[in-house]
Amino acid sequence: MEPVLQVKNLSRHFGGLTAVANVSFDIQPGELIGLIGPNGAGKTTLFNLLTGVYEPSEGLIEMDVDGKPTQIGGLPPYKITDLGVARTFQNIRLFREMTVLENVKVAMHRNIRYGVISAILRLPKYYSEERWVEEKACEYLKEVGLYAKRNELSVNLPYGEQRKLEIARALAIQPKILYLDEPAAGMNPQETADLTALIHRIRKKYGLTVILIEHDMSLVMKICERIFVLDYGKLIASGSPEEIRKNEFVIKAYLGEEI
C-alpha cells in the first residue's frame, strides 16, 4: 500500500535554532502514530510544518492525494485542510462564544463549500443542505459524547470536554489524516481512558490515519502502533511501543525516566 504521508529530510530553522532537523518517515493509511519527545524537542513545530502553519526550511512533505504522492510542504493551511488534514491544538482553539453545535457546524460549512456538494446532490431534494449539516454535526457530537451539551456555550465546557469538542470539529472536516496535539492534557485518568476509547473508535469508523503528540506515556504506549521519538529536532527512534521502551537513545533522552 502507498504511504498516506511521506516526509523526506524535513528541517525547520528559526534563526540559529534547528527545531526540526532532517526528519524522514513514512506513514501508512490507517496507522495510529504517537509522537513523543522531551519539552522543546520539536513536536509542535513538526505538526506546524505538516499542517502548513510553517514552511519547511528544507525537505519534502508528500501526501497521497487520489493515489498520487503530492508535495504539500509550504502550502497554506486551508489548502492542506482541503486535502483532508485536520488537527487539534495544544492550546484549545474553539469559538468560545459559540455553542458546542455551532462550533462543529462552522467546520462543516467550510467543507460544503469545498467539495461535499456532490454528496449532498445525491440526497433527496427536500433534504436541505442545512439539515444535512445539522445532522452530521450532531453525529459527530454524539460520537464524542457531547450531544446533550450541544446548546451550551463552548467556553462553559470543562477542559476535557473542550478537547473532545475540538475532536468533533476536526471530524467535521472529514479528514483522512488527523493530528492531535496533546489530546489528554488536563484530563483525569477516567477522561483519558474515555479519550483512548474514542480515538480507537473514530479511527476505525472514519478510516482515519491518526498522529498524536502526547506526554501521557500510558496513553501512547497503550494505543499507538508506532511511536516516533524526537529529541533536539532529530528523529532519534521509531518503532513499536515495546521497541521504544527498550531503546537506549530514548531512555537517555528522557534522562532515564521510566517510559
Q: List contacts with ligand ATP (CB under 6 A).
A: 14, 17, 19, 37, 39-45
In the bound complex, what is the minimum distance in angstroms from residue 249's beta carbon to ligand ATP? 16
Q: Which grid coordinates are listed for 204?
A: 476505525
Gap between the Cα atoms of 136 and 140, Å rounded:
6
- Which residue's CB is nearer to ligand ATP, number 91 or number 151? 91
Query: Could you tell me which of 206, 207, 234, 238 has the C-alpha nearest to residue 220?
Result: 238
- Which residue's CB is nearer to ligand ATP, number 41 or number 170? 41
* Type of residue at 1: M
In the bound complex, what is the minimum distance in angstroms from residue 17's beta carbon to ligand ATP? 6
- Which residue's CB is nearer to ligand ATP, number 44 or number 81? 44
* Signed CA dihedral, 91, 235, 219, 80: sign only: positive
Q: Output the DSSP codes for 90-125.
A: SS----TTSBHHHHHHHHHHHHIIIIIHHHHHTS-T
In the bound complex, what is the minimum distance in angstroms from residue 188's beta carbon to ligand ATP? 20
Gap between the Cα atoms of 28 and 9, Å rounded:
18
Give the CA distances from residue 115 to residues 12, 151, 241, in Å, rounded to whole numbers and listed in that order.
32, 28, 38
CA angle 163, 164, 167 (to 5 degrees): 95
* Signed CA dihedral, 231, 237, 242, 246: sign only: negative
- Which residue's CB is nearer to ligand ATP, number 43 or number 176? 43
In the bound complex, what is the minimum distance in angstroms from residue 55's beta carbon to ligand ATP? 12
- Which residue's CB is nearer to ligand ATP, number 140 or number 228? 228
- Which residue's CB is nearer to ligand ATP, number 41 or number 61? 41
In the bound complex, what is the minimum distance in angstroms from residue 147's beta carbon to ligand ATP? 31
Measured in whole angstroms, the distance separating CA 241 from the mean position of its chain's CA atoms is 19
In the bound complex, what is the minimum distance in angstroms from residue 186's beta carbon to ligand ATP? 14
- Which residue's CB is nearer to ligand ATP, number 28 or number 218? 218
* Type of residue at 243: E
Cβ proximity of 195 and 184 under 8 Å: yes
In the bound complex, what is the minimum distance in angstroms from residue 117's beta carbon to ligand ATP? 37
